[in-house]
Structure 1
Amino acid sequence: MGRYNGPFFLPLFFLCFSSWLSLHSSADTSTSKLSQTQTLIMGNLYRSLHSSLPNANWNTSDPNPCRWIRVNCSSSGNSSLVKSLDLSGVGLYTAPNSSSAARFFDLLCRLDSLESLDLSANSLTVIPGFFFSNCSFLHGLKSLNLSSNMLYGALQNFSSFSSLETLDLSHNNFGGAVDSQLDGLARLKSLNLSANLFTGEMPTLGKSQGLEELVLSANSFYGQIPSDIGGHQNLTLLDLSQNDLSGSTPEGIGKLSKLETLLLSSNKLGGLIPKSLSNITSLSRFAANQNQFIGSIPSGITKYVRVLDLSYNSLGGEIPADLLSAPNLVSVDLTNNKLQGHIPNNLSHNLYRLRLGGNSLNGTIPETIGNLSNLTYLELNDNNLDSQIHPQIGSCKNLTLLNLASNRFHGELPEVLGSLRKVVVLKLQNNSLSGGIPDTFFELQVNLSVLDLGQNSLTGVIPSAISRLQSLSNLILEGNYFNGSIPDTIGNMSSLIELRLGGNRLSGTVPTMPANLRIALNLSHNLLSGSIPSSLGALTELEVLDLSDNGFTGEIPRFLAGMRSLTLLDLSNNNLSGIRPAFRNYVTVITSGNRYLINSSESQNTSRSRKKRSPIVIIVVVISMVAVLILAAVVVLLISSKRFYRVEDESPQLGESNLQIVNGCFVTANSIHRSSIDFSKTMEVASNPRKIILKTRFSTYYKAVMPNGVSYSIKKLNWTDKIFQMGSHERFRQELEVLGKLSNSNVMVPLAYVLTEDSAYLFYEHVHRGTVFDFLHKNLVNVLDWPSRYCIMLGVAQGLTFLHGCTQPVLLLDLSTKTIHMKSPKEPQIGDIELCKVIDPSKSSGSLSTVAGSVGYIPPEYAYTMTVTMAGNVYSFGVIVLELLTGKPAVSNGLELAKWALSHSARSSEREQILDPKIAKTSLAVRSQMLSILKVALACVSASPEARPKMRNALRLLFNAK
Structure 2
Amino acid sequence: MGKFSWSSLVPGCYGGHRHQRGHGKLPIAKQISFQRMSFSDLSNSTGGMLTPEDISLSLVGSNLYIFKLAELHAATQGFAQSNFLGKGGFGPVYKGFVDEKIKPGVAARTVAVKQLDLEGKQGHKEWLTEVIFLGQLKHPNLVKLIGYCCEDEQRLLVYEFMTRGSLEKLLFKRYCGSLPWSTRLQIAIGAAKGLAFLHDLEKPVIYRDFKASNILLDSDYKAMLSDFGLAKDGPEGDETHVSTRVMGTQGYAAPEYILTGHLTVKSDVYGYGVVLLELLTGQRSVDKNRPMRKQNLVEWARPILNDPRRLNQLMDPCLDGQYSIQGAQKVAAMAYQCLSQNPKSRPHMSTVVETLEPLLNLKDMPIAPFVYIAPAETTSNEEESTKNEVKQRHKDRSPKAGKEVGNTKFGSPTTHNNQNLKRN
TM-score (ref. length: structure 1): 0.27
1:189-338 correspondence to structure 2 within 5 Å: none
2:190–2:223 CA contact under 8 A, matched in 1: yes
- Residue deviations 1:812-849 (CA, integer Å, cap 9, x gap): 232111111111352111111243259xxxxxxxx944
* Rounded Cα–Cα distance in structure 1 between residues aligned with 2:265 and 2:62: 30
1:904–1:910 CA contact under 8 A, matched in 2: yes
Give the structure 2 partner of residue 951 of structure 1.
Answer: 349
User: Aligned in 2, Cα 1:949/1:837: closer, same or farther, shift over 3 Å?
Assistant: closer
User: Aligned in 2, Cα 1:848/1:898: closer, same or farther, shift over 3 Å?
Assistant: farther
2:89–2:121 CA contact under 8 A, matched in 1: no
| Offset of residue 686 of structure 1 | 8.9
The structure carrying a bigger strand percent of its residues is: 1
The match for 1:688 among 72, 79, 87 is 79
User: Aligned in 2, Cα 1:920/1:950: closer, same or farther, shift over 3 Å?
Assistant: farther
* Rounded Cα–Cα distance in structure 1 between residues aligned with 2:156 and 2:77: 9
* Rounded Cα–Cα distance in structure 2 between residues aligned with 1:759 and 1:867: 33
The structure carrying a bigger helix percent of its residues is: 2
1:812–1:832 CA contact under 8 A, matched in 2: no
| Offset of residue 739 of structure 1 | 2.9
1:886–1:916 CA contact under 8 A, matched in 2: yes
User: Aligned in 2, Cα 1:718/1:667: closer, same or farther, shift over 3 Å?
Assistant: farther
Is there any run of 5+ residues in structure 2 with no aligned partner, and where? 1-29, 37-57, 101-107, 234-243, 363-424
* Rounded Cα–Cα distance in structure 1 between residues aligned with 2:264 and 2:151: 31
Give the structure 1 partner of residue 131 of structure 2.
Answer: 736
> Is 1:713 the equivalent of 2:104?
no
> Is 1:771 the equivalent of 2:166?
yes
* Rounded Cα–Cα distance in structure 2 between residues aligned with 1:875 and 1:56: 37
- Residue deviations 1:181-206 (CA, integer Å, cap 9, x gap): xxxxxxxxxxxxxxxxxxxxxxxxxx
User: Aligned in 2, Cα 1:722/1:827: closer, same or farther, shift over 3 Å?
Assistant: closer
Give the structure 2 partner of residue 701 of structure 1.
Answer: 93
1:532-681 correspondence to structure 2 within 5 Å: 674=65, 679-681=69-71
2:177–2:318 CA contact under 8 A, matched in 1: no
User: Aligned in 2, Cα 1:853/1:770: closer, same or farther, shift over 3 Å?
Assistant: same
Give the structure 2 partner of residue 824 of structure 1.
Answer: 219
Q: Count residues in correspondence.
A: 286
The match for 2:286 among 871, 881, 891 is 891
Which residue identity is paired with 1:716?
Q
* Rounded Cα–Cα distance in structure 2 between residues aligned with 1:694 and 1:713: 10
Give the structure 1 partner of residue 269 of structure 2.
Answer: 874
1:818-857 correspondence to structure 2 within 5 Å: 818-824=213-219, 826-836=221-231, 848-849=245-246, 852-857=247-252
1:923-962 correspondence to structure 2 within 5 Å: 926-961=324-359
Task: Please state whether the residue corresponding to 1:736 is helix, strand or coil.
Answer: helix
Task: Please state whether the residue corresponding to 2:206 is helix, strand or coil.
Answer: coil
- Residue deviations 1:76-124 (CA, integer Å, cap 9, x gap): xxxxxxxxxxxxx89xxxxxxxxxxxxxxxxxxxxxxxxxxxxxxxxxx
* Rounded Cα–Cα distance in structure 1 between residues aligned with 2:332 and 2:259: 28
User: Aligned in 2, Cα 1:668/1:682: closer, same or farther, shift over 3 Å?
Assistant: farther
Which residue identity is paired with 2:209?
D
Give the structure 2 partner of residue 751 of structure 1.
Answer: 146
Task: Please state whether the residue corresponding to 1:824 is helix, strand or coil.
Answer: coil
Give the structure 2 partner of residue 524 of structure 1.
Answer: none
Give the structure 2 partner of residue 782 of structure 1.
Answer: 177
* Rounded Cα–Cα distance in structure 2 between residues aligned with 1:780 and 1:829: 25
User: Aligned in 2, Cα 1:749/1:860: closer, same or farther, shift over 3 Å?
Assistant: same
Give the structure 2 partner of residue 859 of structure 1.
Answer: 254
| Offset of residue 934 of structure 1 | 0.7
| Offset of residue 929 of structure 1 | 0.9
| Offset of residue 869 of structure 1 | 2.5
User: Aligned in 2, Cα 1:726/1:686: closer, same or farther, shift over 3 Å?
Assistant: farther
User: Aligned in 2, Cα 1:699/1:940: closer, same or farther, shift over 3 Å?
Assistant: farther
* Rounded Cα–Cα distance in structure 1 between residues aligned with 2:271 and 2:284: 13
* Rounded Cα–Cα distance in structure 1 between residues aligned with 2:160 and 2:113: 9
Give the structure 1 partner of residue 316 of structure 2.
Answer: 916
Give the structure 1 partner of residue 304 of structure 2.
Answer: 904
* Rounded Cα–Cα distance in structure 2 between residues aligned with 1:881 and 1:902: 12
> Is 1:814 the equivalent of 2:173?
no
2:306–2:332 CA contact under 8 A, matched in 1: no
User: Aligned in 2, Cα 1:861/1:920: closer, same or farther, shift over 3 Å?
Assistant: farther
1:747–1:799 CA contact under 8 A, matched in 2: yes
| Offset of residue 679 of structure 1 | 4.7
Is there any run of 5+ residues in structure 1 with no aligned partner, and where? 1-53, 59-88, 91-665, 839-846
Task: Please state whether the residue corresponding to 1:762 is helix, strand or coil.
Answer: strand
The two structures, once aligned, show a CA RMSD in angstroms of 3.4
1:440-459 correspondence to structure 2 within 5 Å: none
Task: Please state whether the residue corresponding to 1:715 is helix, strand or coil.
Answer: strand
Give the structure 1 partner of residue 237 of structure 2.
Answer: none
1:37-48 correspondence to structure 2 within 5 Å: none
| Offset of residue 756 of structure 1 | 3.6
Task: Please state whether the residue corresponding to 2:213 is helix, strand or coil.
Answer: coil
* Rounded Cα–Cα distance in structure 1 between residues aligned with 2:115 and 2:229: 12
The match for 1:57 among 18, 24, 33 is 33
TM-score (ref. length: structure 2): 0.59
Which residue identity is paired with 1:726?
K
Task: Please state whether the residue corresponding to 2:169 is helix, strand or coil.
Answer: helix
* Rounded Cα–Cα distance in structure 1 between residues aligned with 2:111 and 2:119: 25
2:90–2:121 CA contact under 8 A, matched in 1: no
| Offset of residue 906 of structure 1 | 5.3
- Which has the bigger relative contact order, CA under 8 A and spacing at least 6? 2
* Rounded Cα–Cα distance in structure 2 between residues aligned with 1:777 and 1:722: 25
| Offset of residue 886 of structure 1 | 1.2
Which residue identity is paired with 1:869?
T
Which residue identity is paired with 1:717?
L
Which residue identity is paired with 2:349?
M
| Offset of residue 809 of structure 1 | 1.8
- Residue deviations 1:601-622 (CA, integer Å, cap 9, x gap): xxxxxxxxxxxxxxxxxxxxxx
User: Aligned in 2, Cα 1:759/1:723: closer, same or farther, shift over 3 Å?
Assistant: same
| Offset of residue 899 of structure 1 | 1.3
* Rounded Cα–Cα distance in structure 2 between residues aligned with 1:929 and 1:802: 24
User: Aligned in 2, Cα 1:807/1:868: closer, same or farther, shift over 3 Å?
Assistant: same
- Residue deviations 1:735-771 (CA, integer Å, cap 9, x gap): 7345323221111132221124444211111124221
| Offset of residue 933 of structure 1 | 1.0
2:281–2:316 CA contact under 8 A, matched in 1: yes
User: Aligned in 2, Cα 1:909/1:703: closer, same or farther, shift over 3 Å?
Assistant: same
Task: Please state whether the residue corresponding to 2:125 is helix, strand or coil.
Answer: coil
* Rounded Cα–Cα distance in structure 2 between residues aligned with 1:791 and 1:725: 34
2:338–2:346 CA contact under 8 A, matched in 1: yes
| Offset of residue 865 of structure 1 | 1.5
Greater Rg by CA: 1
* Rounded Cα–Cα distance in structure 2 between residues aligned with 1:777 and 1:750: 27
| Offset of residue 710 of structure 1 | 2.5
* Rounded Cα–Cα distance in structure 2 between residues aligned with 1:686 and 1:863: 42
Which residue identity is paired with 2:161?
H
